[in-house]
Homo-oligomer: A and B are copies of this chain.
Amino acid sequence: MSEQPITGEFGLIEWIRGRRPALTPEDGVFGDVGDDCATVGLRERLTLVTTDMLMDGRHFRLAEVGPEAVGNKAMGVNISDVAAMAGVPRFATVAVALPRRDAVAVGQGLDAGLRRMADRFSVHIVGGDTNAWDGPLVVSVTLIGEASPLGSPGRSHARVGDAVFVTGPLGGSLFRGRHLRPEPRVAEAAALLRATTLHAMIDLSDGLSSDLGHILDESGGLGAVLDADAIPIHPDAIDMAREDGVPALRHALDDGEDFELCFTVPADAAEAIVNGPPDGVVLHRIGTIVATPGVRLRGSDGRITAVEPRGFDHFRGPSPP
């Protein structure tokens, strides 16, 4: 079957729309697809909103990874932000600046990747803005979700004595491109919210040292002591350590883009979820919240050393990929 060649912005927009499932009020989508403004129906009183922009050369290299991987990541990092609030992702809008030379092919690949990740979490893409220009690819996704009626953990209520957990192995996400394939912990977060008392939660995008630092800062300047032996190290971090000589543990602490959850619960609740974790949730208890500010590491020899948070600052530093 031959297809018409696609030319121009309106042609690409038509193509993208044609491939979308027809959305109805049963999907929570009202109004017309063609409107500049989508109309959606939310079931909960409180609405979650998050946005993340990815730029070629900063967050990925289009020429190396292709547009589908970019779309998958752009949708995934936003879903992960809703997971950190233990919410339900529902609707997304997508704004893109496509490199003009390849606009149609890049737009199509990007759309496929966006939809692949969105479909996995029953997220409907309800609107967007499609542009082309002489610059590199930029994609900005905004995700709208529903807060749980049980509440949202946020970052600011960690307390001294809380146990610190993560939901999976960390580090080296750049080594084999795992940073392009986030696995947002939506179901895990919801299960944890039901099962325990979440004082604070965040998804690991900047890296454990830096993201846990956000929780500590926003909870009034607390600290954490982490057990070096308890921090789960991803095989990618070990392989990366072999190549670059940076200890695998440093990769686990600093690399970021693991998209696992990091959360704190009161000590007694910690015992309970360690003994009976929610179905399908991997838990690693890695340390304790303390009053003295800063992240510190207790080595196998019992020695405690400070961990310098190494947040990824987009204004400096080399490109992550």
Contacts and interface: CB of A to CB of B under 8 A. Distances in A.
A93 B8 CA distance: 28
Contact of A45 (B38, B41, B142): B41
Contact of A8 (B10, B127, B316): B316
Interface in A66-89: 81-82, 84-85, 87
Contacts of A53: 95-97, 129, 131, 138, 140
A35 interface: yes
A133 B55 contact: yes
B93 A49 contact: yes
A242 interface: no
Q: Which of A51, A145, A314 gathers the greatest number of chain B CB atoms within 10 Å?
A: A51
A100 interface: yes
A39 interface: yes
Contacts of A315: 7-9, 12, 100, 103, 132
Contacts of A140: 51, 53, 95, 129, 138, 140
B47 A39 contact: yes
Interface string A86-112: 010001011111001001000000000
A196 to B, nearest CB: 19
Interface string A111-154: 00000000000000011111111111010101011010000101
B126 A49 contact: yes
22 contacts: A7-B315, A8-B313, A9-B313, A10-B311, A31-B154, A32-B154, A37-B84, A38-B48, A39-B46, A40-B48, A41-B47, A47-B47, A49-B126, A51-B94, A51-B95, A53-B95, A53-B96, A53-B138, A55-B97, A57-B133, A58-B131, A135-B135
Interface of A: 7-10, 12, 30-32, 34-42, 45-53, 55, 57-58, 81-82, 84-85, 87, 91, 93-97, 100, 103, 126-136, 138, 140, 142, 144-145, 147, 152, 154-156, 202-203, 205, 214, 217-218, 311, 313-316
